[in-house]
Amino acid sequence: MTEERGSAGTDVVHPEAWWKDLPRKAYGELEKVGTFQGWFEVYRVAPCVFALYEDGQFEETLSYLILGKERAVLLDTGDGIGDIRALTEELTDLPVSVVNTHHHIDHVAQNYRFDDVALFDDPYARRAAEKGFSHEEAAELIREGLVRKPFPAGFDPATYHMPPFRVTRWLHQGDEIDLGGRVLEVIHTPGHSSDSICLLDRGARLLWTGDLFYTGSVYTYLPGGNLDQFVESYEKILGRWDEYDRLLPSHNEPWVEKELLREAHGLAVQVRSGGGIPQVGAGGVRKYQGSRFALIVGPENAP
């Protein structure tokens, strides 16, 4: 039942012992990197690209440390349980800037630890930066059954929250982030959330997909989500098909074949037109299963 996992997956009934299928097979093919930050597993997925994997929590969030010659980008700051800044300092001496794929709690939780933060310019993102997330909101990530590892030293579940953070650069469609010898292009891809972005590294032929796609349950009905925009965003990145070879999603598996994008787009188009056979959950939420992923839509998209 690992297909249930993914961003905001905690609002559906999670399977018992979700961790029983870990480790995922994909990690056996990657180079594991030892660190002193036990909450994270770290893998080198490509030259100068590290996947920072939180396998101890139901979401299985993935952040990425992307190194250039002059600077590094930390793509997302994870759940806020382990110290991701200390981890980046183990892995590089370069100055590190945060870039967020979107504003959801499991992607921005330790933005406050960094001085340089970039986020797509959007009302939801601005609200998250200004207010942070309360203990009540954050505690949803650590409720019973969602954590399988001991909490790291210094983490207090009783006060767990995400402080507000300062954004030093508001991103827009087509912006470029120059790391020195490596340029990342911002592609606005709403649908999962209104501020969602992908990052394209044309030189390395890599596409970071955020929560637009991953091998798990992909959500389109959360606040700021929209199935029509979701389809349009897929068409946007499929239109750049010849510019990347691999996908680096933000949950579950960090090194995914791009051919799954075509299948996911086809399923989303089918669902939007009233096709497919869903599994119906509480409140009319519908799950449509693909080969290695699922699409979750709200009751407003019921046929």
How does pLDDT run across 121-159, given as a tens digit for each residue?
999 999 999 999 999 999 999 999 999 999 999 999 999
Residue-range definition of the domain harbouring residue 17: 2-213+240-257
Yes or no: say if 61 and 88 are a contact pair by the CB < 8 Å rule.
Answer: no
Give a yes or no: residue 219 inside a domain: no
Average pLDDT over residues 173-187: 98
pLDDT value, residue 2: 33
Give a yes or no: residue 182 inside a domain: yes
Whether 74 has a pLDDT exceeding 90, the answer reads yes
The DSSP 8-state label assigned to residue 251 in this structure reads B
Give a yes or no: residue 278 inside a domain: no
CATH number, domain containing residue 253? 3.60.15.10
Model pTM greater than 0.85?
A: yes
Give a yes or no: residue 52 inside a domain: yes
Give a yes or no: residue 235 inside a domain: no
Give a yes or no: residue 150 inside a domain: yes
Give a yes or no: residue 221 inside a domain: no
Average pLDDT over residues 45-67: 98
What separation in angstroms does the CA of 184 have from each of 1, 6, 94, 144, 209? 34, 24, 17, 38, 13
The count of domains in the chain is 1
Strands 176-178 and 183-188: antiparallel
Give a yes or no: residue 269 inside a domain: no
Instruction: Measure the CA–CA gap between 238 and 232, rounded to whole angstroms.
Output: 10
